[in-house]
């Protein structure tokens, strides 16, 4: 809920930013880092021998809150979520034609103390950003990725995706299927 996020950050953070930068730049930075609950961004690049997936998600989808974990139960939720993200070949099933194996997984979240997070992450609305790299023997053959994200992330309603390949650029939007269907993989496909 973008408007709520903007309202909450209207305070010290913006006052400090206004002192530091021209208003135009501040507005732009705000826009770039706004997140909408229920929506997740995926950028897929099929490049040489790799398929690289960049994910930008409100932390809320992943753990159910957007701050550092406080209780043991919350710490356990974070631990499990991180393990699930590291096992990314269960979340992202790349077209078998490309013959890919999961390579490096990079997770970034200021609230969870992971990686090198975006320094402009808005206070009170933390993101989790991730880069999942797959090494493939025939990456160019990849025409789809089956996503298990709707099953894994209960609050997720929509995936906005951009795919860049040697054949061209594609934009795709996937909506959460109704009921039990959401537990099934959702196919993100492109090309022919
Ligand atoms: Zn949020």
Please give the distance, rounded to the nearest whole angstrom, from the Cα atom of residue 36 to the centre of ligand 1: 7
67 shares a domain with 147:
yes
Number of compact structural domains in the chain: 2
67 shares a domain with 12:
no
- Write the pLDDT tens digit of every residue in 55-96: 999 999 999 999 999 999 999 999 999 999 999 999 999 999
- C-alpha 69/C-alpha 111 separation (Å) is 8
Establish if 135 belongs to a structural domain: yes
- C-alpha 132/C-alpha 148 separation (Å) is 14
7 shares a domain with 42:
no
Of 16-20, 83-87, 104-108, the one with minimum mean pLDDT is 16-20
Residue 110 has pLDDT above 80, yes or no: yes
Sign for the pseudo-dihedral over CA of 124, 14, 25, 117: negative
With residues binned 3-state (H G I as helix, E B as strand, rest as coil), the percentages for the chain, rounded to 5, are: 35, 35, 30
Please give the distance, rounded to the nearest whole angstrom, from the Cα atom of residue 37 to the centre of ligand 1: 6
104 shares a domain with 51:
yes
7 shares a domain with 22:
yes
Please give the distance, rounded to the nearest whole angstrom, from the Cα atom of residue 176 to the centre of ligand 1: 19
67 shares a domain with 161:
yes
181 shares a domain with 143:
yes
Establish if 8 belongs to a structural domain: yes
pLDDT at 167: 87
Establish if 84 belongs to a structural domain: yes
Residues 6+ apart with CB under 8 A from 117: 108, 109, 110, 129
109 shares a domain with 178:
yes
- C-alpha 71/C-alpha 155 separation (Å) is 21
Q: How much of the chain, in percent, has pLDDT values that exceed 90?
A: 71
82 shares a domain with 42:
yes
75 shares a domain with 3:
no
Establish if 192 belongs to a structural domain: no
Q: Which domain holds residue 5?
A: 1-34
Please give the distance, rounded to the nearest whole angstrom, from the Cα atom of residue 12 to the centre of ligand 1: 18
Coil, strand, or helix at residue 142? Answer: coil
108 shares a domain with 19:
no
Please give the distance, rounded to the nearest whole angstrom, from the Cα atom of residue 94 to the centre of ligand 1: 29
Task: Give me the helix-helix angle, 23-33 and 12-20, nearest 10°.
Answer: 130
156 shares a domain with 72:
yes
pLDDT at 151: 94
């Amino acid at each position: 809920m973008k408007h709520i996020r903007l309202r909450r950050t209207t305070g010290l953070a913006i006052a400090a930013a206004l002192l530091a930068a021209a208003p135009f730049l501040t507005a732009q930075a705000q826009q770039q880092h706004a997140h909408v609950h229920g929506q997740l961004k995926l950028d897929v690049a099929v490049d040489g021998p790799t398929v690289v997936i960049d994910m930008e998600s409100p932390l809320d989808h992943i753990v159910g809150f957007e701050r550092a974990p406080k209780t043991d139960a919350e710490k356990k939720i974070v631990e499990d979520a991180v393990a699930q993200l590291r096992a990314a070949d269960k979340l992202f099933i790349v077209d078998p034609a490309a013959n890919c194996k999961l390579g490096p997984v990079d997770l970034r979240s200021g609230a969870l103390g992971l990686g090198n997070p975006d320094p402009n992450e808005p206070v009170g609305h933390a993101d989790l950003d991730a880069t999942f790299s797959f090494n493939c023997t025939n990456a160019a053959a990849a025409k789809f990725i089956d996503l298990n994200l709707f099953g894994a992330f209960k609050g997720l309603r929509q995936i906005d995706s951009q795919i860049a390949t040697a054949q061209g650029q594609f934009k795709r939007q996937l909506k959460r299927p109704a009921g039990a269907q959401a537990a099934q993989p959702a196919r993100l496909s492109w090309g022919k």
